[in-house]
Structure 1
Amino acid sequence: MIEAAQFVEAARARGFDWYAGVPCSYLTPFINYVLQDPSLHYVSAANEGDAVALIAGVTLGAQGGRRGITMMQNSGLGNAVSPLTSLTWTFRLPQLLIVTWRGQPGVADEPQHALMGPVTPAMLDTMEIPWETFPTDAAEVGPALDRAVAHMDATGRPYALVMQKGSVAPYELKQQERPAPRPRCTPVSPAPGASQDGLPTRREALQRVIAHTPPGKNVVLASTGFCGRELYALDDRANQLYMVGSMGCLTPFALGLALVRPDLNVVAVDGDGAALMRMGVFATLGAYGPSNLTHVLLDNGAHDSTGGQATVSPNVSFAGVAAACGYASAVEGDQLGTLDQVLSAAVQEPAAGPRFMALSIRAGTPDGLPRPTITPVDVKTRLARHIGADQGADQGEK
């Protein structure tokens, strides 16, 4: 058994100062220790996949050798499969995973862990995530972290430490630092002003985003599907990234980038289907989101890239959700001029937190829409180089 300080301080010496996760009783000493130290950063995520995506965003923007750790119970690995297989793996965004081993064979545990315990190693192996058991002797901590860092630096992919019961001594939470409650904004929801045929197109909305985000300190992250493809077709700029897969993970990813890089203006261009998939992140953004993050949701009421199947977005006031979750401002409507106002305010007016705009757009997309020819790794490396991040170093196949 080790003390929480022995691991956390050894990790800090190797650049790990960002943590995100979902609690497990095995992780309690770590989380409590990190929460007591104002020089360390911990984000309480709504689910394990959001935590993985958030730390991936931290990795994208990190400078000076800073690194991130995602902590979760093994029962949450299922929630994290999508970002682990199509975000961190695909874009080569490494992070250290601490996964508790509930239901470990031979160790008595609750019935809900009876299946997950035995299959945990196989799940990590299947996702090509090297792992070892979490160190239980102080002398083993440094070498374990060095192996993790060596793998992360060589491959650009995650490494996992699987924590058995009783690995870390208890650490009492001395002072609970909760995110400060933010004033509730009033959602602005004007009456619809246009029929479906009169709504702006995704292309028109993205043209406005491009116009308001010249390269420099502006970064645009586009959701998976036609959103990223249309942005690429309009103008493939160095300050843009096009998500592939990891549906619903754009906003926690953007949050991680905005938190680690307050010098950037981060614009996350989301879709209604993706937002509905992981709506818990609205609360996380409302609690932790900084003023340099703008969340734009293009709502066409459909999954366009898979054949136009309807979503349930007509029944949702996304601005109402954002306002209830603590965003600094929340607007929805169908006017491009309103989008202009929100994007202009992001760089001209201070705010107490992130801004939100849901823009109703027309379903459909131009014929012959190209797919990006630049690889996800090259998109990531180009953007990281543009913002002066550590990930800007070339990372070819290794």
Structure 2
Amino acid sequence: MIAAETFVDEARSRGFAWYTGVPCSYLTPFINHVLQADRLRYLSAANEGDAVAISAGVTLGGGRAVTMLQNSGLGNAVSPLTSLTWTFRLPQLLIVTWRGEPGNPDEPQHELMGRITPQMLETMDVPWADFPSDDAAVGPALDTAVAHMDRTGRPYALVMHKGTVAPYTLRDGVRPPAAPGGAPAPEAAGAPAGALPTRREALQRVIDRTPEGSTVVLASTGYCGRELYALADRPNQLYMVGSMGCVALLALGLALARPDVHVVALDGDGAALMRMGAFATLGTYGPPNLTHLLLDNGAHESTGGQATVSPNVSFAGVAAACGYPVALEGDDPGLVDALLDAPAADGPRFARLRIGTGTPKDLPRPTVTPPEVARRLMSHLAGRVAEPSAAEPGR
């Protein structure tokens, strides 16, 4: 195990001053250190492909950049790694965490990518080595990476195993800069941080207004699904694992296929930022039986609490511009009631509720597996007599 500063200092001496990526729990101490280090810049990317493109731009400007991502995010990064960095010879150092590494038990969503991570990198012509796990190996590992980057003009990857970097605490208040003229941070939006509603309070209101017989609730990956499960494990609920940013799109397909059911998608700020194009798709094709509720705590909480850029975004403004007929936002928990109790509109309904950070201690993980949850929900829906689908590919 190494200290984060050991790697960062060695990397800085070789010209690496820019970092970007998407958090992973393996990367938490590493990102936390970079966020608080002098003379370094960390950009919180919406998705892994965006991070690769940002680093390519740094290279184009004469700098050296490090892109940090979980191996599940390699799928998002395939296009820029194969058509941007490879084509234009814009090298960068990739730090890829090896979730689901064979022999190292992990969550079910990491199993397949864990098996194929080396082949994924090799297929994309990205040579790789293990991320150094002792101080003496850091310099040589970086020298090998830099030599390849300088010789070929293409990326090099260090694959990080679990527990490689010692913990590093993130100070309170470390967040991206405010956008000029952007929306105020949650603390300034009508309630001090400590007075913001909790995720649990918002989820309980959702449960109270989503009867099993007529409603389906799909919860985003991370603590949202886990806390919903802890509050009430119901057959009309699905807890997303992996597939970050896809919950609203999953809900769209279900709502179109089953117009007789009210489908509620519970999203998060990091997930929504990762696939903001989904707002345009839902605004165009979303039916009246679809409700999209975004619980925004301004943080990637399940990976250590790194700030997102959500305080600079009016998600309701985005939703309205993309065609949602109902688009609300605020920090009053009554917003959940207003959204779910509102009459059906000519299209999907959206609300962004600002919530505080914080998660109940010893929050359980679902004991039902993802396939079991899906089969249970499908069986539950099969128990309803579905109306003939009149959904069209638009409104």
What TM-score comes out, normalization by structure 1 length?
A: 0.50
Letter of the 2:249 counterpart: P
What's 2:367 paired with? 373
**Contact 2:316/2:328 (8 A) holds in 1:** yes
Letter of the 2:382 counterpart: G
What's 2:247 paired with? 250
Letter of the 1:233 counterpart: A
Unmatched runs of 5 consecutive residues or more in structure 1: 1-48, 50-74, 80-84, 92-115, 121-189, 391-398
What's 1:140 paired with? none
Q: 1:317 aligned to 2:317? A: no
| Cα offsets for 1:67-91 (capped at 9, x unmatched) | xxxxxxxx99947xxxxx99xx969
What's 1:358 paired with? 352
**Contact 1:239/1:383 (8 A) holds in 2:** yes
Letter of the 1:276 counterpart: L
What's 1:200 paired with? 197
Cα-Cα RMSD: 3.0
Cα distance in 2, alignment partners of residues 308 and 211 from structure 1: 28
Cα distance in 2, alignment partners of residues 291 and 246 from structure 1: 25
Q: How far has the Cα of 1:119 moved from its partner?
A: 5.3
Q: How far has the Cα of 1:350 moved from its partner?
A: 2.8
SS in 1 for 2:382: coil
Compared with structure 1, are the counterparts of its residues 372 and 76 closer, same or farther at alpha carbon in structure 2 (3 Å cutoff)? closer
What's 1:35 paired with? none
SS in 2 for 1:238: coil
**Contact 1:342/1:355 (8 A) holds in 2:** yes
Q: 1:265 aligned to 2:262? A: yes
Letter of the 1:201 counterpart: T
Cα distance in 2, alignment partners of residues 231 and 239 from structure 1: 12
Unmatched runs of 5 consecutive residues or more in structure 2: 1-48, 50-74, 80-98, 101-107, 111-119, 125-185, 385-395
Compared with structure 1, are the counterparts of its residues 342 and 306 closer, same or farther at alpha carbon in structure 2 (3 Å cutoff)? same
SS in 2 for 1:353: coil
Q: How far has the Cα of 1:332 moved from its partner?
A: 0.2
**Contact 2:109/2:242 (8 A) holds in 1:** no
| Cα offsets for 1:134-157 (capped at 9, x unmatched) | xxxxxxxxxxxxxxxxxxxxxxxx
**Contact 1:90/1:377 (8 A) holds in 2:** no
Cα distance in 1, alignment partners of residues 300 and 329 from structure 2: 19
| Cα offsets for 1:19-45 (capped at 9, x unmatched) | xxxxxxxxxxxxxxxxxxxxxxxxxxx
1:15-34 alignment runs, 5 A limit: none
| Cα offsets for 1:357-386 (capped at 9, x unmatched) | 000000111111001111000000001100
**Contact 1:243/1:250 (8 A) holds in 2:** yes
Letter of the 1:291 counterpart: P
| Cα offsets for 1:112-148 (capped at 9, x unmatched) | xxxx9x959xxxxxxxxxxxxxxxxxxxxxxxxxxxx
Letter of the 1:386 counterpart: H
What TM-score comes out, normalization by structure 2 length?
A: 0.51
Cα distance in 1, alignment partners of residues 77 and 255 from structure 2: 25
Q: How far has the Cα of 1:337 moved from its partner?
A: 1.2
* Equivalent residue for 1:331, pick from 328, 332, 335: 328
Q: How far has the Cα of 1:214 moved from its partner?
A: 1.2
Letter of the 2:377 counterpart: L
What's 1:97 paired with? none
| Cα offsets for 1:329-359 (capped at 9, x unmatched) | 10000111121011111xxx23110000000
Q: 1:304 aligned to 2:301? A: yes
Cα distance in 2, alignment partners of residues 273 and 244 from structure 1: 14
**Contact 1:319/1:357 (8 A) holds in 2:** yes
Cα distance in 1, alignment partners of residues 208 and 306 from structure 2: 30
Greater relative contact order structure (CA < 8 Å, 6+ sep): 1
**Contact 1:217/1:387 (8 A) holds in 2:** no
**Contact 1:272/1:298 (8 A) holds in 2:** yes
What's 1:283 paired with? 280
Cα distance in 2, alignment partners of residues 328 and 369 from structure 1: 36
**Contact 1:202/1:227 (8 A) holds in 2:** yes
Cα distance in 2, alignment partners of residues 362 and 370 from structure 1: 20
SS in 1 for 2:271: helix
Q: 1:237 aligned to 2:231? A: no
**Contact 2:220/2:268 (8 A) holds in 1:** yes
Q: What is the number of residues matched between the two proteins?
A: 214
**Contact 1:271/1:297 (8 A) holds in 2:** yes
